[in-house]
Amino acid sequence: MAKPFRETLKKKDFIVTAEAGPVKGSNVTNMVEHIELLKDKVDGLNVTDNQSAVMRYPSLGTCLLVKEHGGEPILQITCRDRNRLAIQADLLFAYSRGIDNVLCLTGDSVDVGDHKEAKPVFDLDSVQLIHLVHSLNSGKDMVGNELDGGVDYCIGASATPSADPIEPQLIKFDKKLDAGVDFVQTQAVYDLNELKRFMEHTRKMDGKVKVLAGIVLLVGAKMAMWMNDNVPGIFVPQHFIDEMAEAPKGKGVSRGIEIAGRLVRQIKEERICDGVHIMAIGREERVPDILEAAGI
Amino acid sequence: MSMGTDNKIIAFCCEKSAYLAADRAGRMRLYYPDNVRIIRVPCAGRVDALHMLRAFEKGAAGVLVMGCQEGACQHLTGNLRAKERVRYTASLLEEVGMDGARVKMVNLGPDMAQKFVRVVKDMAEKIKER
Amino acid sequence: MIIAERKPFEEIKNMIAGYKRILVVGCRTCVTICWAGGEKEVGILSSQLRLQSGRNGNELSILEATVERQCEKEMVTQELGDKVQDIEAILSMGCGVGVQTIAEIYEDKPVFPALNTAFVGMPEREGLWIEMCAACGDCFLDRTGGICPVVRCAKGLLNGPCGGTRRGGKCEIDPEKDCAWVLIYRRLEKQGRLDLMRKYYEAKNYRKVKRPGKIEALEA
């Protein structure tokens, strides 16, 4: 049985989480394989929620699978698909089934996904969502009604250290810290100086929150360029695109693993932040290779 | 309402350029088809999509909007607006299943009698083909 | 003001198929300004319909009219009064409010919308209209330096930008569109009022205006 994430946050020196992306369908076979592969290698396993607005098996469902297989799940909730009632209801359900870590996200726009004609919800934003979880944690729903059976969530938020301009992002991020956040998982980080500046700011605002730097596995130069144009919140600098382009044919993923490993190792050795959050989208089976390349 | 069976062409002619060119063609005895009706306007920019459509409703088979060369319009942008309106009218014609090429924008100078004759003849040919 | 756009010609043509005597009625206010349903557009659409029916050998007679404001019952009856008698169907080039006003007054006549009413907005330049207001009934503009996040933020966020903002401060969904929150940040910074952006704003009250909205003046 995996250790509760909130304990790990308090006690472990360098925290590693990874992501499992659900399947588009009801066939959970591959997901279970990934869960089995990763559950003991990471401190927490995030499950994305209709990531990039592409409809998939829900985060909640996959978190139950993680739990069933002895892993430590981190539920992701976005504000795009559910209103405040549905979100509160889902949080009550998840907690009743042993899930007690939640990452509170705004959510990618429906326009970037595969159901572009859908009506986006965005009844709440990520800051309001964090406040909502605190309400539930204190035994009341969002409008103040007493709950018969409460919850106790470990709350996470996201941040974008490479945003340009950064100031508006930091203002919003500060509101999240102010609301009370146990951990932060950032969007993909490729520039460690940017990460250092972000950490300086964060430590000033909140000395206790644990920050895990997001590491996205690159698999090819073209893919990196495509992500720059199409995936919200990611920016791969030119020198990494070049490094990927120089990889011999068929060795793109290996080069990507090298780069990811290098970043993780440096973050750990220089103690830049409290850990990493590894996103190997579509290639969950390579996460152990990244950890190996990083010397973990 | 006739549908252009007599192949009438309406030519809206700017009085500073095309109208003078038409006049010159006449004086030079350059012949052009006699199913052309010339309407003098103070500037090609005076002609609106509605005027062009109404011309077709009244039986025109082709409409020419003729103004000064680009950069030479006395009202500075009248001929440019006319160009946009002709383009717009062409799309309105396509919407009702008519060929947008039946309306055309032409730019010329006041002494270009030959060009005047040529574009009129071209339009007459084009509408005959339908 | 209300911004609308004419429906595709095919759609309009199909709506009035079979009718031989129609009234096409425009409006001199909002839809005139956005070039969608003013007197000129009434003329153009009517001309197109006549050209089209002529080509198909169909009979179609069109009466054209334009009302000062199609959303005011008095103005509609004043302008249209007796014109509607021999008409089989009415094609309204007003916004959705105009169409419904006409439908309510002339209840026995089929009324069709020639426009798609799109949003509340303004002309940024000649021929370009952009949405500015969501008519949400709970105006937030005092807190954002006069820039509406409900409309201009693609997600309607109230506490700052999402993490998907593109480099250079462009919106996640459109690289040509500025991130509203970056615009708000810049404006508040210029005015030295960033404290407004630092405040936490609670979830929006969507019941401020109970839809369909209704406002009654005390003096009524």
Question: Helix H segments across A118-220?
Answer: 126-137, 167-179, 192-205
Please judge whether A109 and C164 are an interchain contact, meaning their C-beta atoms are less than 8 angstroms apart. yes
Do residues A121 and A80 lie in contact, with contact meaning Cβ atoms separated by under 8 Å? Answer: yes
**pLDDT tens for each residue of C16-52:** 999 999 999 999 999 999 999 999 999 999 999 999 9
For residue B5, the model assigns a pLDDT of 58
Between these two residues, A98 and B34, which has the higher pLDDT value? Answer: A98
CATH number of residue C109's parent domain: 3.40.50.1860
Give the strand pairing for A101-105 and A154-159.
parallel
Task: Read off the pLDDT of each residue in C182-196 and give the average, rounded to a whole number.
Answer: 97
Do residues A134 and A140 lie in contact, with contact meaning Cβ atoms separated by under 8 Å? Answer: no
Question: Helix H segments across C34-154?
Answer: 39-56, 73-80, 96-105, 149-152
Please judge whether C50 and B92 are an interchain contact, meaning their C-beta atoms are less than 8 angstroms apart. no
Q: Which run of H or E residues covers position A92?
A: helix A84-96
ipTM entry? 0.90
pTM, entire model: 0.85
Same domain, yes or no: C111 and C187: no
- Confidence check: pLDDT of C104 > 70: yes
Residue of C44, C60, C128 best to disrupt the B interface, most CBs of B under 10 A = C44
Closest residue in chain B to residue C50, using alpha carbons only = B57
The verdict on residue C175 lying in a domain is yes
Domain span including residue C157: 135-198
Task: Read off the pLDDT of each residue in A275-296 and give the average, rounded to a whole number.
Answer: 93
Residue of C11, C51, C56 best to disrupt the B interface, most CBs of B under 10 A = C51
Shortest CA distance to A173 belongs to which of A153, A156, A191, A193?
A156
Sheet of C21-27: strand order equals C61-67, C21-27, C89-92, C111-113
Query: What span, in angstroms and rounded, lies between the C-alpha atoms of A63 and A98?
Result: 9
Question: Helix H segments across B68-112?
Answer: 78-95
Percent of chain C at pLDDT above 90?
82
A neighbours by CB contacts (3+ pairs under 8 Å): C
Q: How confident is residue A281, by pLDDT bands cut at 50, 70 and 90?
A: confident
Overall domain count for chain C: 2
Confirm or reject contact between A232 and chain C (CB < 8 A).
yes
- Confidence check: pLDDT of B1 > 50: no
What residues does A213 pair with on adjacent strands? A276
For residue B2, the model assigns a pLDDT of 42
Same domain, yes or no: C105 and C174: no
Q: How confident is residue C218, by pLDDT bands cut at 50, 70 and 90?
A: confident
Average pLDDT, chain B: 92
Q: From the CA of B62, how many Å to the nearest CA of chain C?
A: 14
Same domain, yes or no: C27 and C104: yes
Q: Report residue A1 CA to chain centroid gap.
A: 22
Q: Report residue C17 CA to chain centroid gap.
A: 26
Q: Report residue A68 CA to chain centroid gap.
A: 21
Confirm or reject contact between A122 and chain C (CB < 8 A).
yes
Same domain, yes or no: C76 and C8: yes
- Confidence check: pLDDT of B85 > 50: yes
Same domain, yes or no: C10 and C71: yes
Contacts of C169 in chain A (CB under 8 A): 164-165, 168
Closest residue in chain C to residue B93, using alpha carbons only = C48
Same domain, yes or no: C19 and C95: yes
Query: What span, in angstroms and rounded, lies between the C-alpha atoms of A262 and A243?
Result: 13
Rg (CA), chain B: 14
Do residues A20 and A46 lie in contact, with contact meaning Cβ atoms separated by under 8 Å? Answer: yes
- A230: which 2 tokens? 């199409």
**pLDDT tens for each residue of A135-170:** 999 999 999 999 999 999 999 999 999 998 999 999
The verdict on residue C141 lying in a domain is yes
Residue of A128, A142, A230 best to disrupt the C interface, most CBs of C under 10 A = A128
Q: Classify residue C53 by burial, with Cβ atoms within 10 Å: 0-12, 13-18, 19+.
A: buried
Query: What span, in angstroms and rounded, lies between the C-alpha atoms of C70 and C23?
Result: 14
**pLDDT tens for each residue of A74-122:** 999 999 999 999 999 999 999 999 999 999 999 999 999 999 999 999 9
Task: Read off the pLDDT of each residue in B109-124 and give the average, rounded to a whole number.
Answer: 95
What residues does A15 pair with on adjacent strands? A275
Same domain, yes or no: C73 and C29: yes
For residue A232, the model assigns a pLDDT of 79
- A61: which 2 tokens? 């469902």
Average pLDDT, chain C: 94
Q: Name the 3-class secondary structure at A107.
A: coil
The verdict on residue C42 lying in a domain is yes
For residue C211, the model assigns a pLDDT of 82
Please judge whether A112 and C172 are an interchain contact, meaning their C-beta atoms are less than 8 angstroms apart. yes
**Residues 6+ away with beta carbon under 8 Å from C143:** C196, C197, C199, C201
Q: From the CA of A271, how many Å to the nearest CA of chain C?
A: 25
Q: How confident is residue A203, by pLDDT bands cut at 50, 70 and 90?
A: very high
Please judge whether C44 and B92 are an interchain contact, meaning their C-beta atoms are less than 8 angstroms apart. yes
**pLDDT tens for each residue of A38-65:** 999 999 999 999 999 999 999 999 999 9
- Confidence check: pLDDT of B3 > 70: no
Confirm or reject contact between A48 and chain C (CB < 8 A).
no
Do residues A126 and A158 lie in contact, with contact meaning Cβ atoms separated by under 8 Å? Answer: yes
Residue C155 is nearest to which of A122, A158, A233, comparing CB atoms? Answer: A122
Query: What span, in angstroms and rounded, lies between the C-alpha atoms of A127 and B127?
Result: 66
Confirm or reject contact between A112 and chain C (CB < 8 A).
yes
Domain boundary among C119, C153, C171: C119
Same domain, yes or no: C84 and C21: yes
Give the strand pairing for A183-188 and A154-159.
parallel
The verdict on residue C209 lying in a domain is no
Q: Name the 3-class secondary structure at A194.
A: helix
Closest residue in chain C to residue B95, using alpha carbons only = C9
Q: Report residue A184 CA to chain centroid gap.
A: 8
**pLDDT tens for each residue of A164-181:** 899 999 999 999 999 999
Percent of chain C at pLDDT above 70?
100
Q: Name the 3-class secondary structure at B73.
A: coil
Q: Is the CATH code 1.10.620 the one for domain B9-125?
A: no
The verdict on residue C207 lying in a domain is no
Task: Read off the pLDDT of each residue in A289-295 and give the average, rounded to a whole number.
Answer: 94
Domains, chain A: 5-218+277-284 (3.20.20.220)
Q: How many CB contacts within 8 angstroms connect chain A with chain C?
A: 108
The verdict on residue C18 lying in a domain is yes
- C201 phi/psi in degrees, rounded to 5: -110, 130
Q: Which run of H or E residues covers position A262?
A: helix A252-269
Domain segments of chain B as ranges: 9-125
Enumerate chain B positions whose Cβ falls within 8 A of a Cβ in C: 1, 3, 48-50, 53-54, 56-57, 92-93, 95-98
- Confidence check: pLDDT of B4 > 70: no
Q: From the CA of C181, how many Å to the nearest CA of chain A?
A: 7
Do residues A80 and A106 lie in contact, with contact meaning Cβ atoms separated by under 8 Å? Answer: yes
Please judge whether C159 and A123 are an interchain contact, meaning their C-beta atoms are less than 8 angstroms apart. no
Shortest CA distance to A255 belongs to which of A265, A266, A264, A246?
A246
